[in-house]
A and B are shown apart, each in its own frame.
Chain A
Amino acid sequence: MRAIQTIKYGELKDSIAINEVSKPSILSEDVLIEVKAAAINPIDKSIVLGNLQSLLPLPLPSTLAYDVSGVVVEKGTSVNTFEVGDLVYSRVPQEQMGTLAEYVAVKSNAVSKKPGNLSFEEAASIPLAGLTALQTLEYSGIKENDKVLIHAGSGGVGSLAIQYAKVKGAYVYTTTSTDNVSWVKELGADRVIDYKTEDYKSIVKDADIVFDTLGQHYTSEAFEVIKLGGIVVSIAGVLDEETAKMFGVPDYNLPEELTKLIRTKEARYKYVFMHPNGAHLNEIKLLVEDERIKPIIDKIYSFADSIDAFMHLDSGRAKGKVVINLS
């Protein structure tokens, strides 16, 4: 079968190739998905560029991407939640990475039936970003009337996080650039802050939750806008001590500056690491079918143009997800 692989670490255009590889075989708890559409995320680009070599060492060449939607064509002996012919979507587990291929084997507990009102391309755009949004906001303990700041509302995670926070009844602030203000507003955000003309720090006060999608100075700034006893949940900042331990770094300490900020605000800080979860994807499916969450797609590429898709993602100009059609 054909697959899009990273053949080495380096510049995108030189490091990605379409290769002929063998069709994956399944284990008892797996389903084999005939891929109809796959979406790419910033992590896929980082893998090719070699930025994650130490965290995620991969044999080369490796088939790329984690997001998929397609049809179950085979199932393992212990799978009783899916049938051959089911239309599904998934963010596949790390060890099964490789959705940019004609087939992918996936642990059934990472799979859900796809939303019936979405095309394969729309469904493939959701899993990684949707799970990140849901799991991070759930970790924060989000509830009705909470004031939540979500950075980068036009991003893959931000656009879904805004909608999920509104499902939970929160008041949502979000930041974005001038060009994106109107469509981000349509996602339901209560206050869209144009970071090119406004200073979010003078607008957001006493937030219950800050969802830090940007890291760097935004992580420490979060403590300026958060209320006493609030929580900063991050997917881009530094690791917290518990998460570091999970990654096998037991002696890790939070940077001193951050520890002080946390103490001053009597706040909590957590780096949330997305994990594949079919049950969570099913929750998202129901919200999508109820039109309370909708995916935002920037562009759909054909399989043959996959390298262009990566280049487009790398340009930073995408407003929504970049999807590759394999059907």
Chain B
Amino acid sequence: MKELIKKIKDSIPLSKEAEEYLFSISNERTVPKGSVLIRQGRPVDMVFFVTDGCLRSFFIDRHGKEHTLHFAIRNNWISDYIAIHSNESATLTVECLTESSIIEFDTEKIYGMLTMFPELEPFQRANLERLFISLQKRIINQLHLSAAERYDLFLEEYPDVEQHIPNYHIASYLGITQESLSRIRANKSRT
């Protein structure tokens, strides 16, 4: 929780009252590998801040295949924001790829906090903007970059993640087959 408070204080001034309240609505816990925190088709009432480990959000298509949308590592937030903001069931599943330490917040309480402590608004807005920018970049990159370039960006964005997660999650995130991923890696190691 200290890390999150520090992250907030690095970007905005945080009153003692707001800090105490944030602490009171947080639940810090360690979740085992494979745990599902949000399940596609179910209501979403939590957002998660990752302090250690790696989580992913993915979409299951009508044929039952998984498509990875997003990874969350240390100091990242993860949830299903479509579901939260449209008050609909989850369109994504969020699972832990490694044993992970997270801080979870009830969505109603954390968004209610913005009314109680408007000083937190800029921090919240910056978080959402960062997420929006990241997703916009991901779409643009998917449209015009080669698979090898997208792989390089993945390595930049998620350093040290590669060795902890199965290849098929990375291939799925990049929208390529594992065979292509192996080829890209082999080419990289030759150059």
Binding site for B on A (CB under 8 A): 36, 69, 83, 85, 87, 114, 116-121, 123, 286, 289-291, 327
Do residues B179 and A291 form an inter-chain contact, with CB atoms below 8 A? yes
Do residues A118 and B167 form an inter-chain contact, with CB atoms below 8 A? no
Pick the contact of A69 from B36, B58, B64 — CB < 8 Å?
Answer: B64
List the A side residues contacting B40 at CB < 8 Å. 85
Do residues B168 and A290 form an inter-chain contact, with CB atoms below 8 A? yes
List the A side residues contacting B58 at CB < 8 Å. 116
Do residues B65 and A291 form an inter-chain contact, with CB atoms below 8 A? no
The CA-CA distance from A289 to B64 in the complex, in Å, is 14
The CA-CA distance from A83 to B36 in the complex, in Å, is 9
Write the nearest CB–CB distance from A208 to chain B, whole angstroms: 30
B38-66 vs A, CB cutoff 8 Å, 1 = contact: the mask equals 01111000000000000000101011111
Do residues B42 and A85 form an inter-chain contact, with CB atoms below 8 A? yes
Binding site for A on B (CB under 8 A): 36, 39-42, 58, 60, 62-66, 166-168, 172, 177-179
Do residues A290 and B42 form an inter-chain contact, with CB atoms below 8 A? no
The answer to whether A87 and B166 touch (CB under 8 A), given A291-B178, A291-B179, is: no
Query: Sorted from nearest, which 6 A-B pairs have the closest CB atoms?
Result: A119-B63, A116-B66, A120-B64, A291-B178, A289-B168, A85-B39
Pick the contact of B65 from A85, A116, A327 — CB < 8 Å?
Answer: A116
Write the nearest CB–CB distance from A279 to chain B, whole angstroms: 14
Write the nearest CB–CB distance from B176 to chain A, whole angstroms: 12
The CA-CA distance from A140 to B166 in the complex, in Å, is 29
Write the nearest CB–CB distance from B71 to chain A, whole angstroms: 15
List the B side residues contacting A85 at CB < 8 Å. 36, 39-42
A116-B172, A118-B65, A121-B63 given; 4 more Cβ-contact pairs under 8 Å: A83-B36, A87-B64, A120-B64, A286-B166
Do residues B179 and A36 form an inter-chain contact, with CB atoms below 8 A? no
Write the nearest CB–CB distance from A303 to chain B, whole angstroms: 16
The CA-CA distance from A116 to B179 in the complex, in Å, is 16
| Most A CB within 10 A of own CB, among B40, B42, B66 | B66
CB-nearest residue of chain B to A325? B63
Do residues A117 and B64 form an inter-chain contact, with CB atoms below 8 A? no
Do residues A117 and B172 form an inter-chain contact, with CB atoms below 8 A? yes
List the A side residues contacting B66 at CB < 8 Å. 116-117
The CA-CA distance from A66 to B39 in the complex, in Å, is 28
Write the nearest CB–CB distance from B53 to chain A, whole angstroms: 19
Do residues B168 and A291 form an inter-chain contact, with CB atoms below 8 A? yes
| Most B CB within 10 A of own CB, among A120, A121, A289 | A289
Instruction: Pull 9 A–B residue pairs with CB atoms less than 8 Å apart, ordered by A.
Output: A116-B65, A117-B65, A117-B66, A117-B168, A118-B65, A119-B64, A120-B64, A290-B168, A291-B167
Write the nearest CB–CB distance from B186 to chain A, whole angstroms: 15
The CA-CA distance from A90 to B64 in the complex, in Å, is 15
List the A side residues contacting B168 at CB < 8 Å. 116-117, 289-291
Write the nearest CB–CB distance from A126 to chain B, whole angstroms: 13
List the A side residues contacting B64 at CB < 8 Å. 36, 69, 87, 114, 118-120, 123
CB-nearest residue of chain B to A115? B168
List the A side residues contacting B42 at CB < 8 Å. 85
Write the nearest CB–CB distance from A115 to chain B, whole angstroms: 9
CB-nearest residue of chain A to B42? A85
List the A side residues contacting B60 at CB < 8 Å. 87
The answer to whether A120 and B63 touch (CB under 8 A), given A83-B36, A290-B167, A291-B178, is: yes
List the B side residues contacting A69 at CB < 8 Å. 64
The CA-CA distance from A93 to B168 in the complex, in Å, is 30
The CA-CA distance from A289 to B172 in the complex, in Å, is 11
List the B side residues contacting A286 at CB < 8 Å. 166
CB-nearest residue of chain A to B41? A85
CB-nearest residue of chain B to A36? B64
The CA-CA distance from A116 to B60 in the complex, in Å, is 9
Write the nearest CB–CB distance from A14 to chain B, whole angstroms: 34
The answer to whether A289 and B166 touch (CB under 8 A), given A83-B39, A117-B172, is: yes
The CA-CA distance from A327 to B65 in the complex, in Å, is 14
CB-nearest residue of chain A to B93? A85
List the A side residues contacting B41 at CB < 8 Å. 85
Write the nearest CB–CB distance from B74 to chain A, whole angstroms: 24
List the B side residues contacting A116 at CB < 8 Å. 58, 65-66, 168, 172
Write the nearest CB–CB distance from B115 to chain A, whole angstroms: 33
| Most A CB within 10 A of own CB, among B42, B63, B64, B179 | B64
The CA-CA distance from A117 to B171 in the complex, in Å, is 10
CB-nearest residue of chain A to B166? A289
The CA-CA distance from A69 to B60 in the complex, in Å, is 14
